[in-house]
């Protein structure tokens, strides 16, 4: 039976998704705490981590090497695209905050970056994206098959690097994390073109797709430093809330930025049929007529309806609401650091909580 493209969900949705106990409830009235200490700005954070990030980059390029030319081309293209390298930076900062630096941290940071890069390659294929960080995606250049397979190579290479460290706790955390990320991809697929996606379901997706890797990075940094269970848990909580803040802020930018600044096409989320927090909030607070327009836009990925969608988001205060939710998570992240010593690396972690919600790309 032929189905018009975009008219139906990609795969059937269950009538009810099971809740995740660890997923925080939506914030009805977000009220962030005041900053709890010194914060470094992004240039200062980058300067602080520059030597270790350079060591990690050298290791990444060394371990990317393959006898298969296409793997080298695609992997170098995506790794060489730049980006903030936020996830490996978090691991190095968490370890440094607790007094640990060294080759094992560089190697584990490279593992985290390989995993993240693999998810980007797979995401762009699933989302049929053609622009990332201001240039063509790997799948737009080499095709879907090459992108998926090189993503698989990066996953397997990350596990090779991980095993070399010979730490069972490290392997367990990263194995669980990659499995959860895969679950998040499938969970998101269930909500594609689903106008009934609510805030709790949205948070379940971004926890699994984004926040868990942030949390793994910071927990692993603490683990390498030999921190006790309480400190490892605090670092995990910091990373988890930072991941929420980062992704919610990212979803705001899809309706509040421009393609040149954002590095991807504005309205990509709508085109892909993804109901993110600004649109979910507008759906919940619009009258029946506007809600019908928004439902149709989500069900069909109708970017022609973008002016009406933006008007609804504006009239409902949905961007302000979403920004406030992101700030609440950033505040919760910073609060998780309150028991740590006050040093430059902790100030950098606080600064990243502020940066996550103030950036424009």
What is the tens place of the pLDDT at every residue in 298-332?
999 999 999 999 999 999 999 999 999 999 999 99
User: Which residue, among 232, 233, 234, 272, has the nearest Cα to 251 in the 3D structure?
Assistant: 272
Identify the band that residue 3 occupies on the pLDDT scale cut at 50, 70 and 90: very low
Continuous segment of H or E residues that includes residue 6: none
Instruction: Give the Cα separation of 220 and 238 in Å (integer).
Output: 12
Indicate whether 191 pLDDT > 70.
yes
**pLDDT tens sequence across 113-168:** 999 999 988 888 887 787 776 678 888 889 889 899 989 999 999 999 999 999 99
Tokens for 56? 């990690």
Indicate whether 211 pLDDT > 50.
yes
Instruction: Give the Cα separation of 196 and 299 in Å (integer).
Output: 10
**DSSP-assigned states of every residue in 27-57:** -SS--PPPP-S----HHHHHHHHHHHHHHHH
**pLDDT tens sequence across 25-46:** 454 444 666 666 899 999 999 9
Q: Where are the domains of the chain?
A: 42-358
Contact 318, 251 (CB under 8 A): no
CATH class of 42-358: mainly alpha
Q: What are phi and psi of 267, to 5 degrees?
A: 85, 10
């Amino acid at each position: 039976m032929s189905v018009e493209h975009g008219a139906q969900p990609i795969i059937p949705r269950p009538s009810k998704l099971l809740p995740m106990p660890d997923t925080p409830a939506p914030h009805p009235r977000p009220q962030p705490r005041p900053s709890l200490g010194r914060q470094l700005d992004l240039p200062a954070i980058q300067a602080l981590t520059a030597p270790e990030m350079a060591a990690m980059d050298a290791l990444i390029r060394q371990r990317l090497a393959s006898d298969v030319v296409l793997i080298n081309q695609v992997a170098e293209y995506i790794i060489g695209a730049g980006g903030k390298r936020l996830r490996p930076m978090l691991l190095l900062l968490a370890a440094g905050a607790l007094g640990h630096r060294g080759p094992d941290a560089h190697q584990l940071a490279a593992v985290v970056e390989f995993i993240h890069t693999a998810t980007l390659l797979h995401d762009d294929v699933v989302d049929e994206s053609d622009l990332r960080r201001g240039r063509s995606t790997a799948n737009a250049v080499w095709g879907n098959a090459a992108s998926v397979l090189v993503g698989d190579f990066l996953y397997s290479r990350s596990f090779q690097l991980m095993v070399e460290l010979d730490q069972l706790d490290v392997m367990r955390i990263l194995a669980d994390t990659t499995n959860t990320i895969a679950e998040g991809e499938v969970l998101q697929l269930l909500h594609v073109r689903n106008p009934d996606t609510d805030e709790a379901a949205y948070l379940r997706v971004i926890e699994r797709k984004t926040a868990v890797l942030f949390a793994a990075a910071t927990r692993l940094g603490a683990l390498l430093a030999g921190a006790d269970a309480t400190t490892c848990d605090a670092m995990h909580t910091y990373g988890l809330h930072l991941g929420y803040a980062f992704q919610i802020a990212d979803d705001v930018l899809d309706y509040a930025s421009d393609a040149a600044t954002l590095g991807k096409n504005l309205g990509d989320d709508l085109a892909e049929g993804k109901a993110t927090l600004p649109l979910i909030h507008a759906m919940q607070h619009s009258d029946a007529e506007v809600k019908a327009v928004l439902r149709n836009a989500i069900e069909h990925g109708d970017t022609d309806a973008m002016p009406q969608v933006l008007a609804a988001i504006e009239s409902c205060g949905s961007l302000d609401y979403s920004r406030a939710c992101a700030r609440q998570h950033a505040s919760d992240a910073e609060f998780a650091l309150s028991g740590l010593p006050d040093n430059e690396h902790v100030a950098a972690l606080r600064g990243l909580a502020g940066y996550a919600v103030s950036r424009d790309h």
